[in-house]
Amino acid sequence: MGLNEVFRKVADIERNATELASHKVDLALMGELSIAVKQAKDAAGKYAKSKDKISKAVASIKDDIAALKLNKDYGKKVLTNAAKFKGQLDKLSKELGTPLQGTEPDKLLSELFMLGEDAQGTIDDALALLNTIK
């Protein structure tokens, strides 16, 4: 075997070793890329589902939010109205000279006050919940 032939075989071995190393790098990179692609697909799918849920939820409560904001002081208005009725009831009680506590108008007035307080509390709580969304 001549020296040229030895050099040729050494060159072939080096070329094959370089190609083998290149294939190992390609395989390692392919593995990492495959994992990264799978993770990105999973995340993208998860975020798409989240977006759809949020879109549906927002669409379903848009009218409710608008109504709450438009009527944010509804309970206060009911309480103001109830206070007017109380004034009228007290005036009538004085004119008649008889207490009207426990009568049907008094019971309705108490219910009106409670409804006003409950409504305002509900509206305030709902608006506070909306403020937690950023």
* DSSP code at position 54: H
Q: What is the mean pLDDT of residues 36-59?
A: 96
pLDDT band at 29; cut points 50, 70, 90: confident
How far is residue 49's CA from residue 107's CA, in Å, rounded to a whole number? 51
Check whether 20 has a pLDDT greater than 60.
no
pTM of the model: 0.64
Other C-beta atoms closer than 10 Å to the C-beta of 52 total 10
pLDDT tens-place string over residues 75-131: 999 999 999 999 999 999 999 899 989 999 999 999 999 999 999 999 999 999 999
